[in-house]
A and B are shown apart, each in its own frame.
Chain A
Amino acid sequence: MTSLRIKGFEVRTDRLYDLVHHMWVKDVGDGRVRIGMDSLGVETSGTLAHLSAVAVGTVVSRGEPFGSLEAEKYVGPLVAPLSGTIVAVNDEVFSDPRKVESDPYESGWMIEMETADLAAERGGMIEGNDAIARRFAEKVTEYRLEGVLAE
């Protein structure tokens, strides 16, 4: 596992990223991937009050919600970064969403999915040290220019 600090935000390079929805995807073997929220997603969400997820066994397509979050009375979707079947939900995180804020890349994982063809799904995501560092930095810059993040 390699951890980088990009313009004040931690990013792990041992996984894939969907930077549109700020989700990370980590291959945990046997066709399963673990999914969570990246540090920019945590920052732009505000203090998480509630999380919910669809039931284990649900088939979700890439771009569709697999659950929802609530912060500051704002409810928004948790968007699946790839297609597959949900095989596990991190109950601890859904009981106490603060764990996502305190440890988004490890104990703050949200769900595990089985995906039929991870190789095919990788194309829509960002991976590799250089690409992750560059695209994450671009996103931070974009958010700062838009006023989404403080300087």
Chain B
Amino acid sequence: MDSTKSLRVIDFGRVSGLRSQTLWHAIAHGVSSGAPPTLSFMQPDESYVSIGYHRGIDELNPHNELPVYRRMVGGGPVYVDDGQYFFQIVVPLAMAPARRGDAIRTLLEPAVEAFNDVGISATLDARNEVVVGDRKICGHAAGQISGSVVVVGNLITRFDHLAAASIVRAPSEVAREEFLAQMRRYVLATPADSGLFLEAATRRYGERLGLGAEPGTLTDEERDQLDVFDTLFVDPEWVDGLSTHQNGMWRAKVKSGVWVGSATCDGHRVTASFHDDEIKEVRVEGPDGTFEEMDQLLAALAANPPI
């Protein structure tokens, strides 16, 4: 395969939760070493939690019993199961725009076209969320791994909002309920045929990158690298990752611009949902009576959105 003119397409089918992460990390190293730009697809055959590179393990529900895998791309902790069909586009660094936001947008646009091709009226909003109306339909993350740029996303054919809301550490049941309510409002499953999506995405990415799509497999080097990642991703030190800075406030993002925050003051807990800097819902837990500091607490929460 001519690595300068081809888009390698690999359909891994159903894979373990671990492999649904490590396979594309191995591809990123392969592309960095000269393998062609690659579009891959896979569906995990089990439920797990995927946590972003910089996020703290202490953001997860301490009662979580699902496997946790730390990815090398961004974003927060997410629940993954077999109702989510994943795609990954991996290109050499030189093929991606230098501005990070532009790189994500450029590498998500063909996926949005593919969603439309299979009957989903998706758009890419100003915050780079793939949405139908105002509801998020695709979880995505991106990063530079070695000398390649990776954008990962999913076709959500079925979404378990309750399970997704349960994986995060919440400071109270009220906060978790509010997070769940906002997830139900703003995260939408879009059942579509994954095979058709694969065909459409292959066509759209090939057109966008100006490359002819060709079925491919992992290189020997990528297989070796896969072994490395299979070991690394279950290493407790890697999974635990870095500590976080929460400033005493709890924040959980539903989608870009929509989040739930919670903090305490004088024995009261205030939980609020925020939509584009507007406070939409406020719930107060604590003793009866006037809580004069609530305005200040809400202002402090509003000033500290999750990024």
Judge whether B135 is part of the interface by a CB distance below 8 angstroms.
no
A49 contacts B54, CB within 8 Å? yes
How long is the Cα–Cα vector from A75 to B245 in the complex, in angstroms? Answer: 18
B53 contacts A68, CB within 8 Å? yes
Judge whether B128 is part of the interface by a CB distance below 8 angstroms.
yes
How long is the Cα–Cα vector from A52 to B70 in the complex, in angstroms? Answer: 15
**Chain A residues near B72 (CB-CB < 8 A):** 75
Query: Among A76, A96, A146, which residue has its beta carbon within 8 angstroms of that of B100?
Result: A76
Judge whether B143 is part of the interface by a CB distance below 8 angstroms.
yes
Query: Among A50, A73, A77, A95, which residue has its beta carbon within 8 angstroms of that of B141?
Result: A73
B130 to chain A: closest CB distance in Å?
12
Judge whether A10 is part of the interface by a CB distance below 8 angstroms.
no
Query: Among A44, A48, A50, which residue has its beta carbon within 8 angstroms of that of B99?
Result: A44
Q: A49-B307, A72-B104, A73-B104 are in contact. Are A95 and B245 (CB under 8 A)?
A: yes
Chain B: residues with Cβ within 8 Å of the partner, total of 25
Judge whether A47 is part of the interface by a CB distance below 8 angstroms.
yes
Q: A47-B307, A75-B72 are in contact. Are A52 and B54 (CB under 8 A)?
A: yes
Q: Bits for A100-142, please: 1 = Cβ < 8 Å to B, else 0.
A: 0000000000000000000000000000000000000000000
B98 contacts A74, CB within 8 Å? no
B73 contacts A72, CB within 8 Å? no
Q: Which residue of A lies closest to B306 (CB)?
A: A49
Judge whether A148 is part of the interface by a CB distance below 8 angstroms.
yes
B144 contacts A46, CB within 8 Å? no
The B169-194 residues at the A interface (CB cut-off 8 A) are none
Q: A70-B74, A76-B144 are in contact. Are A148 and B100 (CB under 8 A)?
A: no
Judge whether A147 is part of the interface by a CB distance below 8 angstroms.
yes
How long is the Cα–Cα vector from A50 to B72 in the complex, in angstroms? Answer: 13
Q: Which residue of A lies closest to B307 (CB)?
A: A49
A44-B99, A51-B54, A143-B99 known, 6 other contacts, Cβ within 8 Å: A52-B242, A72-B104, A74-B101, A74-B144, A76-B144, A148-B99
B142 contacts A143, CB within 8 Å? no
A116 to chain B: closest CB distance in Å?
27
Judge whether B235 is part of the interface by a CB distance below 8 angstroms.
no
B143 contacts A76, CB within 8 Å? yes
How long is the Cα–Cα vector from A16 to B197 in the complex, in angstroms? Answer: 49
Report which B residues bind A (CB closer than 8 A).
52-55, 72-75, 97-104, 128, 140-144, 242, 245, 307
**Chain A residues near B128 (CB-CB < 8 A):** 72
A74 contacts B54, CB within 8 Å? no
Query: Among A73, A77, A146, A148, which residue has its beta carbon within 8 angstroms of that of B75?
Result: A73
The A41-61 residues at the B interface (CB cut-off 8 A) are 44-52
A85 to chain B: closest CB distance in Å?
21
How long is the Cα–Cα vector from A147 to B102 in the complex, in angstroms? Answer: 9
Judge whether A71 is part of the interface by a CB distance below 8 angstroms.
yes
Residue from A46, A73, A149 with most neighbouring chain B CB atoms (10 Å): A73
Q: A72-B128, A75-B142 are in contact. Are A49 and B74 (CB under 8 A)?
A: yes
A61 to chain B: closest CB distance in Å?
15
B101 contacts A75, CB within 8 Å? no
Q: List 11 A-B contacts (CB under 8 A).
A: A49-B307, A72-B104, A73-B73, A73-B74, A73-B75, A74-B103, A75-B143, A146-B98, A147-B102, A148-B97, A149-B99
**Chain B residues near A148 (CB-CB < 8 A):** 97-99, 102
How long is the Cα–Cα vector from A29 to B101 in the complex, in angstroms? Answer: 37
How long is the Cα–Cα vector from A100 to B181 in the complex, in angstroms? Answer: 35
Query: Among B54, B102, B245, which residue has its beta carbon within 8 angstroms of that of A70?
Result: B54
